């Protein structure tokens, strides 16, 4: 099977498996695991933040950020199709006790003026705005890159109102690779950031959240409250360190694979690519094919291609390390033959 459902399906490389086998470990709750400490220090350096914290998943990282930045009764501002709002099971309400105020986006970008207008003024009837969240790259916008300029404009508004900004940067390294700039050009326009090790970077598990010393100290306690205080965590931190230090430079290969799929889909009757394909995600409207999303997914499955449904008439293709260019070209030929 050619698995294009998500970049989360990647398997750890042999180097990652060997690193896990040889990892020097200790009890991380006591601060005694040297491998996770190395991972956190390296992540903080790469992301341009004072400190970093290893967490079990991107969702856990985002939720820890919301819990650390806000208090119950606050409101958070975020794009209307963002992962935190759309795909995290209502956790900001269930865990942090905050409500969401969603902003329409264009290719994942929120207009800074609209964001500023959404920040609450002091009034006994209103919740206080506790946090602004940005997603980069933006999943439901088809892996769209939120530009550093847009992030800077939102961050400037946020600072003027003393509101922190958190970036759900699960695929932020894809944005940096496609933009051909250092990831710190993005992270300097936020207070905290979450990045996934288990998507394009290919680690088997884990994410990083990064920010200043005070934030990480508080976040560590929230991680413990959520059951994320792990023991000999070096066993899973070691593959994450390999992913972080060796897999960032190859992300452009995934973007090139996505471009091949885009061309094939555009050549297929009744199929229309609806995103710009900035990175490794291709979203296609298949209404003209005469098939439902479920029918289209099953049709490709029968032909040896796994993809994800993405809406009533849309599907998503996601390229990654474990799908070779040869496999992508094979998938492209099948798509063109439909």
Q: What are phi and psi of 146, to 5 degrees?
A: -85, 115
Phi, psi at 127, each rounded to 5°: -75, 155
The strand pairing partners of 101, in sequence order, are: 77
The CATH fold assigned to 250-337 is: 3.90.1150
Q: Which residues contact 223 (CB under 8 A, 6 or more apart)?
A: 53, 55, 60, 64, 229
pLDDT at 269: 87
Alpha-carbon Rg of the chain, whole angstroms? 20
Residues 26-59: tens digit of each pLDDT: 999 999 999 999 999 999 999 999 999 999 999 9
- Whether the pLDDT of residue 294 is over 90: the answer is yes
Look over the chain and give the mean of its residue pLDDT values, rounded to a whole number. Answer: 97
Query: For 253-275, what is the mean pLDDT?
Result: 96
Which residues does residue 308 pair with via DSSP β-bridges, in sequence order?
316
CATH of domain 12-246: 3.40.640.10
CA separation for the pair 285, 283 (Å, rounded): 7
Judged on CB neighbours under 10 Å (0-12, 13-18, 19+), 60 is buried
Average pLDDT over residues 176-188: 98
Q: Can you read off the two tokens belonging to residue 119? A: 């920040």
pLDDT digits (tens, 9 = 90+) for 8-26: 999 999 999 999 999 999 9
pLDDT of residue 293 exceeding 90, the answer is: yes
Cross-strand pairs, 211: 51
pLDDT band, residue 338 (cuts 50/70/90): confident
- Given a contact cutoff of 8 angstroms between Cβ atoms, the answer to whether 27 and 232 are in contact is yes
Among 140, 138, 204, 131, CA closest to 172: 138
Q: What is the pTM of this model?
A: 0.97
Question: Which among 104, 118, 116, 194 is positioned nearest to 158, based on CA atoms?
Answer: 116
Q: What are the residue ranges spanned by the domains of the chain? A: 12-246, 250-337
The secondary structure element, H or E, covering residue 54 is strand 51-55
- Gap between the Cα atoms of 201 and 193, Å rounded: 16
β partners of residue 314: 285, 311
Q: How far apart are CA 68 and CA 176, in angstroms?
A: 26
Q: Supply φ then ψ for residue 2, to 5 degrees.
A: -95, 105
DSSP β-bridge partners for residue 2? 305
Portion of the chain with pLDDT greater than 70, in percent: 100
């Amino acid at each position: 099977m050619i698995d294009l459902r998500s970049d989360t399906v990647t398997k750890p490389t042999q180097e990652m498996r060997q690193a896990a086998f040889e990892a020097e470990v200790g009890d991380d709750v006591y601060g005694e695991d040297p491998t996770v400490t190395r991972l956190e220090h390296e992540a903080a350096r790469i992301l341009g933040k004072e400190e970093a914290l290893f967490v079990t998943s991107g969702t856990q990282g985002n939720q820890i950020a919301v819990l650390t930045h806000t208090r119950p009764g606050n409101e958070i501002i975020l794009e209307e199709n963002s992962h935190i709002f759309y795909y995290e099971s209502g956790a900001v309400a269930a865990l942090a006790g905050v409500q969401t105020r969603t902003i329409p986006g264009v290719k994942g970008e929120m207009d800074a003026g609209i964001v500023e207008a959404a920040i609450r003024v002091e009034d006994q009837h209103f919740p206080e705005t506790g946090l602004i969240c940005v997603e980069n790259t933006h999943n439901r916008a088809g892996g769209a890159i939120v530009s550093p300029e847009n992030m800077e404009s939102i961050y400037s508004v946020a600072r003027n109102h003393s509101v922190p900004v958190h970036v759900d940067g699960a695929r932020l390294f894809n944005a940096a690779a496609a933009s051909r700039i250092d990831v710190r050009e993005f992270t300097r326009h936020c207070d905290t950031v979450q990045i996934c090790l288990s998507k394009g970077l290919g680690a088997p598990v884990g994410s990083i959240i990064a920010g200043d010393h005070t934030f990480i100290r508080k976040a560590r306690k929230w991680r413990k409250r959520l059951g994320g205080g792990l023991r000999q965590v070096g066993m899973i931190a070691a593959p994450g360190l390999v992913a972080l230090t060796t897999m960032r430079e190859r992300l452009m290969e995934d973007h090139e694979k996505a471009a091949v799929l885009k061309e094939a889909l555009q050549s297929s009757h009744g199929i229309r690519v609806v995103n710009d394909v900035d990175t490794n995600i291709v979203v296609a409207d298949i209404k003209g094919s005469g098939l439902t999303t479920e029918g289209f997914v099953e049709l490709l499955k029968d032909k040896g291609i796994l993809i994800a449904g993405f809406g009533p008439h849309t599907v998503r293709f996601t390229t990654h390390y474990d799908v070779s260019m040869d496999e992508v070209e094979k998938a492209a030929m099948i798509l063109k033959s439909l």
